[in-house]
Amino acid sequence: MTTLPLIGLIGAGGTISSLATDPRDYMDYPETGRKLSVHEVLEELPQLREFAALKPLAFRSVGSSAMGPEDWLRLHATITAAITESPEIAGFVILHGTATLEETAYFLSLTLPADRPVVVVGAQRPLNTLSSDAPANAINALRTAASPEARGRGVMVVLNDEIHSARDVTKGSTFRLDAFYSPAHGPIGVCDPDRLVFYAPALPRDAGPAFDLSGVTALPRVDIFHAYAGNDGVMVRACLAAGAEGLVSAGFAPGMPPPLEREALVEAARAGVPVVQASRVGAGRVARRGWLTRERWIASGDLSPVKARILLMLALRQSRDPDELQRIFDRH
Is 21 a residue of the active site? no
Q: How many whole angstroms separate alpha carbon 265 and alpha carbon 283?
A: 23
Please return the burial class of 199, using the count of CB atoms within 10 Å of its CB with bins 0-12, 13-18 and 19+.
exposed
Q: How many whole angstroms separate alpha carbon 15 and alpha carbon 26?
A: 9
What 47-50 contacts at long range (C-beta under 8 Å, 24+ apart), as own/partner pairs, is: 47/135, 47/139, 48/9, 48/138, 48/139, 48/142
Name every residue whose Cβ is closer than 8 Å to that of residue 130 and which is 6 or more positions away in sequence: 23, 24
Buried residues in 211-234 as b, exposed as e (16+ CB within 10 A): bebeeeeebbbbbbbebeeebebe
Task: Given the residues 15, 98, 104, 170, select the one marked as catalytic.
Answer: 15
Residues with catalytic roles = 15
